[in-house]
Amino acid sequence: MTQTELRLAPNGLFVPLSGGETYFNYHWLRDACPTTIDGQTRERVFDITALGAPPVARAARVEDQTLVIEWANEDHVTQLGLDRLEAFVRNGQNPDPADLHKRLWYAGHDASFLRISQAEVEDTDAGCARLARALIEEGVALVTDMEDSDESLERLVNRLGPITPTAEGAFFQVRLEIAPTNLAFTAGPLEMHTDLPGEEMAPGVQFLHCRANTVEGGRSLFLDGAAVAEALRAEDPAAFDLLATHAIPFFYRHDGWDYRAHQKVIELDAQGQVSGVTISQHLQDDMDLPQDVLDDYYPAFCKLIRMMQDERFLCRFRLNAGECIVFDNHRVVHGREGFSAESGQRHLRGCYTDRGATWSTYRVLSGTEHATKVA
Ligand SMILES: [Fe+2]
């Protein structure tokens, strides 16, 4: 058995890892002790604030790839595998299977969207994992061979997560209505937008199940908002910064509801990468930034919207009956060409689930997506 005594400091200790001697704080190490997690509930059952004194090591050593800490002031020994510490240092956090590289996409990419049958998603873990992975990496996928029933959409969504209701209820219908509550329910063109920015947290993953589409026109328009935002950053960094810094007001109102919320048009993650966009001119309230800030903000805002009409980003395609487009409502911007209302039927049925639920499903199923057959 190999054994190495470790160097101790007042608030932590040094562990020899592959990248060299690495410092860890005592509070962090005490909380990271595997005994703090209950095996049954998988929740933390240790309260670090209940210790009589701050955690300090009396002695610490590495024994056969395991860090062993004998704590002063309490009768407890912590054993932590060095592989876990290595993984934490490598990622700066616990490894996350859903932390996948986001691939930006451009015009024509609709031919390369993941196409996967409803049966494959419903009946195999591998299929469900492939769908969830596509939503993380590209923010979009097409589910094909959908059963022509209301229940089929409910079953599909529930593979990824519970349905997120909105003011319209659990499901919404996109078809012509006599007294529409939304421009989507008319035959006119629908500008590029993300859904429901007036909600405190706009719905995460959107499903649009095409039940009928025999009209002339009415092609679907989709683009990768992250790709457009990154292009804006490259072309006009000052405009990008304005849109990523200031929040602007959106609403969603009708007889029985009056939602209002401020959103940043460009959302950044903790690393400064574009994680999404929020855009909807038809649900945008009067800008309430200081008027002199608007002197610069409005041109930046208009520039981004014009870029969203640029052919280099737009995917135009016809959604067919039996297909369901699934997309990240915080990243993928969608719209529709106008259509001739008398030329046939156009009926989409939609709903949402959370992004968090979708990422959770991917974590649970990750590693199965390359399997040929999973029960
Ligand atoms: Fe929409």
Ligand 1 midpoint to CA 174 (Å): 9
The CA distance from 136 to 102, in Å, is 7
At which residue do the structure tokens 């860890």 appear? Answer: 24
CA of 16 to the centre of ligand 1 (A): 53
Beta strands in the chain (DSSP E): 3-5, 12-17, 20-25, 56-63, 66-72, 77-81, 114-117, 140-144, 172-174, 190-193, 205-213, 220-224, 247-254, 257-264, 266-268, 274-277, 315-317, 324-328, 332-336, 346-353
> Separation of 195 CA from ligand 1 center, angstroms?
5
% of the chain beyond a pLDDT of 70: 97
- Rounded to the nearest whole angstrom, what is the distance from the C-alpha of residue 74 to the centroid of ligand 1? 58
Q: What separation in Å is there between the alpha carbon of 76 and the centre of ligand 1?
A: 56
Q: What is the pLDDT of residues 39-65, one digit of tens each?
A: 999 999 999 999 999 999 999 999 999
- What local confidence, expressed as pLDDT, does residue 204 receive? 96
State residue 222's pLDDT score: 98
Instruction: Give mean pLDDT, residues 31-43.
Output: 94
CA dihedral 157, 160, 165, 171 (to 10 degrees): -10
Give the pLDDT score at 1. 65
Q: How confident is the model at residue 371, as a pLDDT? A: 60
Mean predicted confidence (pLDDT) in 354-373 = 87
Distance in Å, CA 235 to ligand 1 centroid: 28
Stretch 171-199: mean pLDDT: 84
Residue 313 has pLDDT above 70, yes or no: yes
Distance 155 CA to ligand 1 centre (A): 21
What is the rounded average pLDDT of the residues 58-85?
Answer: 96
Q: Please report which confidence band the pLDDT of residue 174 belongs to, taking 50, 70 and 90 as the band edges.
A: confident
- Mean of per-residue pLDDT scores for the chain: 94
Res. 20: pLDDT tops 70 = yes
Question: Which domains are seen in the chain, by residue range?
Answer: 3-91 (3.30.2020.30), 109-365 (3.60.130.10)
Task: Tell me: pLDDT of 160 over 50.
Answer: yes
Task: Name the pLDDT band for 375 (thresholds 50, 70, 90).
Answer: very low
Does pLDDT of 345 surpass 50?
A: yes
What pLDDT is attached to residue 273?
93
Q: Over the stretch 144-159, which tens digit does the pLDDT of each residue have?
A: 999 999 999 999 999 9
User: Tell me, what's the pLDDT at 177?
Assistant: 67
| CA end-to-end distance (rounded Å), the chain | 43
**Ligand 1 center to residue 362 CA distance, Å?**
25
Spatial distance between the Cα atoms of 339 and 217, rounded to a whole number of angstroms: 4
Q: Residue 208 Cα, ligand 1 centroid: separation in angstroms?
A: 9
CA of 124 to the centre of ligand 1 (A): 29
pLDDT of residue 225: 98
Instruction: Tell me: pLDDT of 234 over 60.
Output: yes
Average pLDDT over residues 266-287: 95
Q: What is the mean pLDDT of residues 231-246?
A: 98
Ligand 1 centre distance from Cα of residue 75 (Å) = 59
Q: What percent of the chain has pLDDT over 90?
A: 85
Strand 266-268 and strand 274-277: the pairing is antiparallel
Query: Measured in angstroms, how far is the CA atom of residue 108 from the centroid of ligand 1?
Result: 21
Ligand 1 mean position to 191 CA, how many Å? 9
* CA–centroid distance, residue 211 to ligand 1 (Å): 16
Alpha carbon of 352 to ligand 1 centroid (Å): 11
Q: How far is the CA of 206 from the centre of ligand 1 (A)?
A: 9
Q: What is the C-alpha separation between 333 and 363, in angstroms, rounded?
A: 26
Distance 373 CA to ligand 1 centre (A): 35
